[in-house]
Amino acid sequence: MDLDDLQLVDHHVHGAVKEPLDRAGFEKLITESDRPVPAWMSTFDSQLGLAIRRHCAPLLGLEPHASADDYLAARAEQDVNRLFLGAAGVSDYLVDTGHLADSLTDVDELAKLSGSRAHEVVRLEAELEYVASQESDVAAVPDALVGRLEERTAGAVGLKSIVAYRYGFDFDPAEPSAGDVRASLDRWYATGAKRVTDPVLLRWLLWTGARRGLPLQLHVGLGDTDLQLHRVNPALLTEWLRLVEPLGTQVVLLHCYSYHREAGYLAHVFPHVHLDLGLTTMYVGARAPAVLAEGLELAPFAKLLYSSDAWGPAELHYLGATLWRRAATSVLDTFVQQGDWSAEDAARVARMWGRDNAVRLYGLDQR
């Protein structure tokens, strides 16, 4: 199977970094850790680091597996954003603009550099924090939030929640009462904190987001040191998924490692649950076929999506797509070679996974 010509929809991605990067700066951006890299190690000595040296070096005119120093020297000579974004084979980027966006290309720049279409995904927590920064009257916040979301999602394709980072999934699943929300807003305003971390406010945001009707993306599983991995097992969302199911909103579980099998189970039993293995695919590098295969156990094939979750170096936008194509080819070809699937079904599932499901879910053919 050859997926080189399949134009992907990267349904969850961020911008590319605009400034040049030295070795220390680059090393900081190829790890999920937010800590300084210890002097006795290099983040190039990781699956992602080796994948960059293997798969990105040839685009810079280097041999595969070029050394990190040679790689970074060649990188500094080129317009890497245009190079890697142009080579990813992605027709549509769905861009989460809610995380440190000032240092990154915005939606329009990403479209221009890549020659692809780019659409916005609006991050719920960032919008509540924006509203709070503008609105001194606590009582006005609920209406202001609804208004802000209406305005911000007018041209957007989806919403995103990072409750995983801010609290975890072990929250009370019921929609909070107006009184509880008001009390929590009062407490939050009293602290003067910018970040929203109160579980009542976070689940109010989730419910408010679910009521918008747009597909709602949730960060699930691996991330940085802010989260506790066992508290972002998506199975913890089961009761919340049951409660929002009548709203008709589609929920997308992102990344999911090491709980991608649990995510596949949820996509199997709940009609409104979808998943991807973005971020994961990139970080596990040579292990991507093994991990993606686990995602193809219980999940109905109409529920699978592709994303890179790239943030920062444009290598990641390219690498997400490249590793997904290699891994999906490997996994699906194996099913065919085992005598279990037909080649036609394998090719069809690859198209659903890499493109068609996202076009349907986000209505991209009507844009």
- Candidates 222, 233, 218, 360; CA nearest to 275 is 218
Least Å from the CB of residue 296 to its own copies: 7
Question: In the structure encoding, which two tokens stand for residue 140, read together?
Answer: 């006005």
Supply the angle between the helices 178-191 and 199-212 in degrees, to the nearest 10.
Answer: 120
Q: Which C-beta is closer to its own copies: that of 86 or that of 168?
A: 168
Question: Residue 224 Cβ, how far from its own copies at the closest point, in Å?
Answer: 6
Q: Kindly state the smallest distance separating residue 345's Cβ from its own copies, in Å.
A: 6
Query: Of 152 and 325, which CB lies nearer to its own copies in the complex structure?
Result: 325
Q: Per the structure block, which two tokens stand in for 186?
A: 């009062």
User: If residue 114 lies in a helix (H) or strand (E), which one and from where to where?
Assistant: helix 107-114
* Residue indicated by tokens 């939030």: 145
Closer residue to its own copies (CB): 49 or 86: 49
CB closer to its own copies, 30 vs 185 = 30
At its nearest, how many Å lie between its own copies and the CB of residue 194? Answer: 21
Instruction: Give the number of other CB atoms < 10 A from CB of residue 63.
Output: 11
CB of 225 to its own copies, least distance (A): 5
Cβ closest to its own copies, residue 122 vs residue 232: 232
Residue 61's identity, in one-letter code, is G
CB 312 within 8 A of CB 17: yes
Tokens of 314: 């444009």
Rank residues 144 and 361 by Cβ distance to its own copies and give the closer one.
361
Q: How far apart are CA 47 and CA 364, in angstroms?
A: 33
| Cα separation values, 316 from 26, 323, 342, Å | 12, 10, 32
Which of residues 24 and 154 has its CB atom nearest to its own copies in the complex? 24
Q: Work out how close the CB of 49 gets to its own copies at its nearest, in angstroms, rounded to a whole number.
A: 9
Q: How far is the CB of 59 from its own copies (least distance, A)?
A: 16
Q: Which of 170, 304, 298 is nearest to 237 (CA)?
A: 170
Nearest-angstrom CA–CA distance, 252 and 255 = 10
Q: DSSP letter for 288, please.
A: H
